Structure 1
């Protein structure tokens, strides 16, 4: 079965990243998946699912905040699958819950910024270098957030990192556009994933779910598949005239 192209999805072990990897496989892409080493077994199961769809897949364990690891990851994707057509820089963390700015440590700030902002920069950089070298255009896609369009109290590092991704996406779109490479980001609102709630009876998590649901005109929160549907379109040839955008997908929680 011929491939529609080669995709790499970071932070693919669960939630939105996992849904994106499966959707791109359904769309006809061979899909490399990435996450941290504690999630290796979960990634193994994901690779099996992708292969059952008739697509090629493999795991590359890496920390996206480490430059050499990201460089090696892209090189390995090219070596094993034959190139790179879609980079989905999905990996990210929320940071400490309900932490006021004045209570944050510099270490807590750096951790969120390193994974979310620096990690996305490194993925954009090395995907861009590879796609330019290939000369066959490409799609680079990042993960912003509703928190990257309107700051959230008690989530300063997360909001700052997601605003940074929007700026990075716009700058990269300008630089990579002449090579036929589009660069966009998805900006979800509340999505029913482990990042929203750990599944434990945490009253804060439960309150967040109820609050987000009430704030949405649709009176619902999103699913990982909702986000994957958007990424599917951004990754497609049909999206060729869209670049530099951070597209809100939030059930009306926030209007651009």
Structure 2
């Protein structure tokens, strides 16, 4: 990539979806540190958190940052996000399709509405981000980097999270197909597959397990540490470090991969 931005010190422009909290927020901060201008996205109810993050970035760095709220499951919203970023920040070089949701339930208790909602956000949302970002990158003619959110649940099915696991298996397939279609344009497409990352998202899994097993809040999360080689849970920083590399020029020969980042719990 050789972004020709109005700000010559910028490494380019990145969109990060689902960036109001957790892994998305961590990735946004890391890419800013790396020298990217960023557009941070989440759903409208999280506007205040987006505004706070924009303020944090612009007050502490020289990088540009804008909030682009919207629902990634809606074609018009994602198109609007991409168009606004290209118009206001001068282009698009990196798309991080991070937004995702989960439900913890046995298959027998999972409703059709829950199934459809997870696929709408996790799969259709990733598809729209990949497609519309790639369209913009192809028009620019300078290549790009697209990165999606897989999971260890997309490498091995998880009981009582069948719907979530299914969406993440779908992200793996989409990533592999997109990598083959977009490689000729200088666009790489990869995904990160986190394990146990201590975020609000993991906290929702913890709440389900605590209620089911009669545990105190946080006890289930603590037990996860003994299931991985390094003996600890991860933080958004670990995922952001991988993303930082995947969007760099040095990663030009890596594409179509969903890379596990879990401290050595699942080996691929």
Say whether the fold is shared (TM-score over 0.5).
yes
- State how far apart, in whole Å, the 2-side matches of 1:201 and 1:137 are: 42
Counterpart in 2 of 1:16?
Answer: 23
What displacement does 1:39 show?
0.8
Residues 201, 135 of structure 1: alpha-carbon distance in 2 compared, 3 angstrom cutoff: closer
Counterpart in 2 of 1:174?
Answer: 180
Residues 149-228 of structure 1 mapped to structure 2, 5 A cutoff: 149-197=155-203, 203=210, 206-228=218-240
SS in 1 for 2:259: strand
SS in 2 for 1:44: helix
What displacement does 1:158 show?
0.4
Residues 132, 102 of structure 1: alpha-carbon distance in 2 compared, 3 angstrom cutoff: same
Work out which of the residue numbers 233, 238, 241 in structure 2 matches 1:229. 241
Counterpart in 2 of 1:53?
Answer: 61
Cα RMSD for the two superposed structures: 1.5
- State how far apart, in whole Å, the 2-side matches of 1:200 and 1:215 are: 15
- State how far apart, in whole Å, the 1-side matches of 2:96 and 2:46 are: 18
- State how far apart, in whole Å, the 2-side matches of 1:236 and 1:50 are: 21
- State how far apart, in whole Å, the 1-side matches of 2:107 and 2:206 are: 26
With structure 2 as the length reference, what TM-score do the two structures score? 0.92
* 1:86 equivalenced with 2:94 (yes/no): yes
SS in 1 for 2:38: strand
Q: What's the CA shift string for 1:218-247, capped at 9, x where partnerless?
A: 110000111001100001111000000001
Residues 125, 201 of structure 1: alpha-carbon distance in 2 compared, 3 angstrom cutoff: closer
With structure 1 as the length reference, what TM-score do the two structures score? 0.96
- State how far apart, in whole Å, the 2-side matches of 1:65 and 1:199 are: 23
* 1:38 equivalenced with 2:66 (yes/no): no
The unaligned stretches of length 5 or more in structure 2 are 1-6, 212-216
Q: What's the CA shift string for 1:77-109, capped at 9, x where partnerless?
A: 0000000000000000112x2x11111110010
SS in 2 for 1:22: helix
Comparing 208-217 and 178-187, the one that deviates more: 208-217
Residues 56, 178 of structure 1: alpha-carbon distance in 2 compared, 3 angstrom cutoff: same
Superposition misfits of 4+ residues, deviation over 6 angstroms: 199-202
The unaligned stretches of length 5 or more in structure 1 are none
The total of aligned residue pairs comes to 254
Q: What's the CA shift string for 1:190-221, capped at 9, x where partnerless?
A: 00000011599772563431332110111100
Counterpart in 1 of 2:151?
Answer: 145
SS in 2 for 1:58: strand
SS in 1 for 2:202: coil
- State how far apart, in whole Å, the 2-side matches of 1:240 and 1:111 are: 34
Work out which of the residue numbers 251, 261, 264 in structure 2 matches 1:239. 251
* Native 8 Å contact 2:206 2:221 kept in 1: no
